[in-house]
Amino acid sequence: MNLEQIIEKAIQRAQSAQVMLTTHEKSEVRFENDRLKSAESSQRTDIQLKVIKDGKLGVSHTTDPGDVDGVVSRALEAVEFGSPVHFDISPARPIPEVKTYDPALLPLSKPEMIQLGQGMMEMIKAYNPEILASSGLGKTILKEEYANSSGAAYSTDHTNFYVGAGGQLVRGTDILSAGHGLDQKKRQVDTEDVATRAIEYFRLAERTAPLQTGEMPVIFTPSGLIALLLSLGLGLDGKQVFLGASPLSDKLGQVIADPRFTLMDDPLIDYGPNSSAFDDEGTPRQVTPLVEKGVLRNFIYDLDTAGRAGARPTGHGTYRQPTNLVISPGETPYAEMLRGVKQGLLVHEYLGLGQGNPINGEFSVNVFLGYKIENGEIVGRVKDVMLAGNAYQALKDIVTISQEREWVSGWMSGLMPYVQVGKLSAVAK
């Protein structure tokens, strides 16, 4: 599709316009309960058009590449109900170089993915045949194209590869679910390592360990850090800052976390799961320091919120979504961190994340997968435990950060360490 054609039609009736075209080709296989559940391929095209007319914004979407007239007319109709515009369409600017495409992923076929999925399940079944094993692999080939009425035109290709393995272990009324997954842009993924990590979560949960209600040290695994990062991510959202809803609104340049805590958003990591050269508004991506040695350095802005706040857009797109969050490593090996806890909790996954008042840092979540720490060792899995606290207070109460880091997938994805917090409230039923 010719994006310039859409722009030309749009500016016949609007002052300016920008369009983003994304094409996806996806192949995936899924195994559930020890057997192949699906092996599918799909294609999709997404077009997003924004027009500015008489100082107001109109937006429309389509998945039909032939619907040029329709997507333009709907955007112009939306202007009537659109919000006032606080930004100008940006002229062409240099975009950074980042590796997002691995041609080695292209020849990977569904039969090969089925074989890899079966291999991971066989490893899990060899560890414990009672586990109802599952696995999944997905390959996506993606192309992003952007153009606007100020002469900017960018295009980039992406590959994405997801591998995951896990399962369920049912013993009477007790159901244990565990697994591990990895999402990145290159073919080089060790499926045996993914299965081994999933097995380790099951191994640590072979026994259950009673936990007494009270305040105790908590170690968050890289995946478990979402309990703290959810609140921080909401607080860093430029829209929440501009509206005054973020408790961080007036904290720029102030200490909001332990001095050992440094967090940046880095979309320029080669083959990172969310790496890219530009966002869906045509803003070039950039590395954004968010918290530096405990000090708040930046918020996350799209074009609109940046215009309202008198700030610069940070290249995080319409939804102000972080890309690759990177927490700097600490000085303590994870094994040493464990040895230093006499009685505590290791948390990995949650059920009902987002309960409480996350924008203000308050959380109260059920621990879906967590382990009791006793005398420096993991002694078993905890059941029916709720973890509560305030994310901002916890970030100031960091005891230690691990040397080791792992890639974590999901809404707040990135390169994360293990983080120990001094005390949080754990309630056992």
- Confidence check: pLDDT of 374 > 70: yes
pLDDT at 166 (0 to 100): 98
Task: Give the confidence band of 290 by pLDDT, cuts at 50, 70, 90.
Answer: very high
* Statement to judge: residues 161 and 236 lie in one domain: no
- Confidence check: pLDDT of 213 > 90: yes
* Statement to judge: residues 188 and 233 lie in one domain: no
* Statement to judge: residues 38 and 174 lie in one domain: yes
Domain count, the chain: 2
Task: Give the confidence band of 353 by pLDDT, cuts at 50, 70, 90.
Answer: confident
* Statement to judge: residues 233 and 350 lie in one domain: yes
pLDDT at 123 (0 to 100): 98
pLDDT at 107 (0 to 100): 97
* Statement to judge: residues 130 and 224 lie in one domain: no
Please list, in sequence order, all residues whose beta carbon lies within 8 angstroms of the beta carbon of residue 115, skipping any fewer than 6 positions away. Answer: none
- Confidence check: pLDDT of 40 > 90: yes
- Confidence check: pLDDT of 399 > 80: yes
- Confidence check: pLDDT of 378 > 80: yes
* Statement to judge: residues 92 and 184 lie in one domain: yes
Residues 73-92 have pLDDT tens digits of 999 999 999 999 999 998 99
Question: What is the pLDDT averaged over residues 291-311?
Answer: 97
The model's pTM: 0.95
Residues 188-203 have pLDDT tens digits of 999 999 999 999 999 9
The domain in which residue 402 lies consists of: 207-429
Last residue of a domain, which of 175, 204, 233?
204
- Pairwise pLDDT comparison (73 vs 354), residue with the higher score: 73
pLDDT at 410 (0 to 100): 83
CATH of the domain at 67: 3.30.2290.10
Last residue of a domain, which of 154, 187, 204?
204
- Confidence check: pLDDT of 96 > 80: yes
Instruction: Compute the distance between CA of residue 222 and CA of residue 226 in angstroms, rounded to an integer.
Output: 8
Last residue of a domain, which of 180, 204, 228?
204
* Statement to judge: residues 385 and 252 lie in one domain: yes
* Statement to judge: residues 98 and 186 lie in one domain: yes
- Confidence check: pLDDT of 303 > 90: yes
pLDDT at 352 (0 to 100): 80
Task: Give the confidence band of 1 by pLDDT, cuts at 50, 70, 90.
Answer: low
Question: What is the pLDDT averaged over residues 366-393?
Answer: 97
pLDDT at 56 (0 to 100): 97
- Confidence check: pLDDT of 66 > 70: yes
Question: What is the pLDDT averaged over residues 175-198?
Answer: 96
Backbone φ, ψ for residue 26 (5° rounding): -130, 135
Task: Give the confidence band of 2 by pLDDT, cuts at 50, 70, 90.
Answer: confident
* Statement to judge: residues 197 and 217 lie in one domain: no
* Statement to judge: residues 240 and 164 lie in one domain: no
Question: What is the pLDDT averaged over residues 290-294?
Answer: 98
- Confidence check: pLDDT of 111 > 80: yes
Backbone φ, ψ for residue 230 (5° rounding): -60, -50
Q: Output DSSP code: residue 170.
A: E
Average pLDDT of the residues of the chain: 96
Instruction: Compute the distance between CA of residue 409 and CA of residue 66 in angstroms, rounded to an integer.
Output: 34
